[in-house]
Structure 1
């Protein structure tokens, strides 16, 4: 009789993993689809994900919202990594965003993990790679 109550109490008080914050470079359809699917899958994920920012180099997109997340310019990436304690930067190859070499140098100094995905991968494979990279120590 006490076993179901005990297991219920364990599930009730089980601590959820702290979400890993990521930055997604790009706001095109593929970046949006990946981001939306990551957020949708969060409920059942071993390691929840929080999208801290999107990056886009078009000035008219700066400070707009995509799925409730603010879009920033590439020059702000390293500051965002530090300020928001970002664990991973996700980029999809072929994305037309131009990020200057000096900005990449600043990003490398932060020692944040970076993941570059291929455009021809399916969405489920991309999701799994993001979650696995976030789980790595």
Structure 2
């Protein structure tokens, strides 16, 4: 493929892979900021991210919207993973949401990966770790 025009046009016609669906455990500032960073980076990213849901155990947050995704209670996470074929569950260490062991058992039986990020990492590092987990 030595044709210069073909080299220019090929990237324009290549399809991007389907977005990887993710769920965030928590809606604190770090989760909110990382989610925004991932969504803002979708235009340049080789692998786009689609936020399926946020998980929070505060009843007043249930069914609210964050970055276009609905907030659900922890008891719903396993069903959400299966229904939406979620590829990745993201949690940031220090988040105080309690998810029962039987719910974790249900999640671990799916193909979804769980990534736990450190609270003191910068957003760029977190973003790269999420992309690496999506590609693995």
TM range, smaller chain? over 0.9
2:59 — aligned with what?
Answer: 59
Q: 1:1-137 to 2 correspondence within 5 Å?
A: 5-136=5-136
The alignment of Structure 1 onto Structure 2 pairs a total of residues equal to 134
Question: CA RMSD for the aligned pairs?
Answer: 1.3
Secondary structure of the 1:43 match is coil
Per-residue deviation at 1:10? 2.3
Please, what TM-score do these two structures have when normalized by structure 1? 0.92
1:46-102 per-residue CA deviation (whole Å, 9 max, x = no partner) reads 211111110001111111100111111111111111110100000001101111111
Please, what TM-score do these two structures have when normalized by structure 2? 0.92
1:9-56 per-residue CA deviation (whole Å, 9 max, x = no partner) reads 423321111110000000010000000000111111121111111000
> Structure 2: where are the runs of 5+ without partners?
none
